[in-house]
Amino acid sequence: MPLWFQLHCGLEPRTLAALAVVLVVAAVLAAQHFWTARPRSVAAPEVVAEETVMPAASLKTTPRPSPSAGSPPVAAGGRVVVDVSGKVRRPGVLRLASGSRVEDALRAAGGIKAGTDITGLNRARVLTDGEQVVVGGPAPAAGAGAGFAGGGEGSGGTGAVAPVSLNSATQEQLDTLPGVGPVLARHIIDYRTRSGGFRSVDELREVKGIGDGRFADLRPLVLL
């Protein structure tokens, strides 16, 4: 303390020392208060994106529609196997894409030989798995002709096809029906054996490989 202040106040040195300590402590506290009270930058809280969880009900898959009873059978892998024989350039068993038509089978077999009458052959018909397409075979009866061409070379084209018995015909006899190859004839015999014989011609619809269109072709050509 200045001497004039000490003489004016009449304070003792001990008292002045205590007063100086108090002033120093007060100054320190004031500085600390000022430091802690100053404005500070506050970091924004981190935003955590919430993962959207789809409810189980929305994950249901749409069931695939089942094929209708009258639709042609399709081989595994979306292909059909057909037997093309008769007056074609490369007869044999062919594997074609599902939905192929008789015209596609004839093209895959190298085409029809020149001079063959194909009046009775429906080249726009959709093929079924296991059927036989005969080109230039005997002329079918009226309403038939699903897989046969007309008379062709050396054929009169006027003979009628005798009805075939579903309950007694052999595989070779069934094979002569239009559009029925060895595979489909085997299916007919298997169904006949499994069910104990045909009780009605309409049961032919139950045989694998025979849809409504093929049944309409075979109906006038078969009997019990």
- Is residue 65 domain-resident? no
- Is residue 63 domain-resident? no
- Is residue 206 domain-resident? yes
Domain CATH number, residue 90: 1.10.150.320
User: pTM for the whole thing?
Assistant: 0.35
Of the given ranges (36-40, 74-78, 81-85, 147-151), which has the lowest mean pLDDT? 147-151
- Is residue 212 domain-resident? yes
Structurally, how many domains does the chain consist of?
1
Q: How does pLDDT run across 109-142, given as a tens digit for each residue?
A: 999 888 888 877 888 899 988 888 888 765 444 4
- Is residue 106 domain-resident? yes
User: What residue numbers bound the domain in which 191 lies?
Assistant: 79-223
Q: What does the chain look like in DSSP terms, one character per residue?
A: --HHHHHHHT--HHHHHHHHHHHHHHHHHHHHHHHHHS----PPPPP-PPPP---GGGGPPPPPPPPPTTSPP-BTTTEEEEEEEESBSS-EEEEEETT-BHHHHHHHTT-BPTT---TT--TTSBP-TT-EEEES-PPPPTT--SSB----TT--S-PPPPPEETTT--HHHHHTSTT--HHHHHHHHHHHHHHTS-SSGGGGGGSTT--HHHHHHHGGGEE-
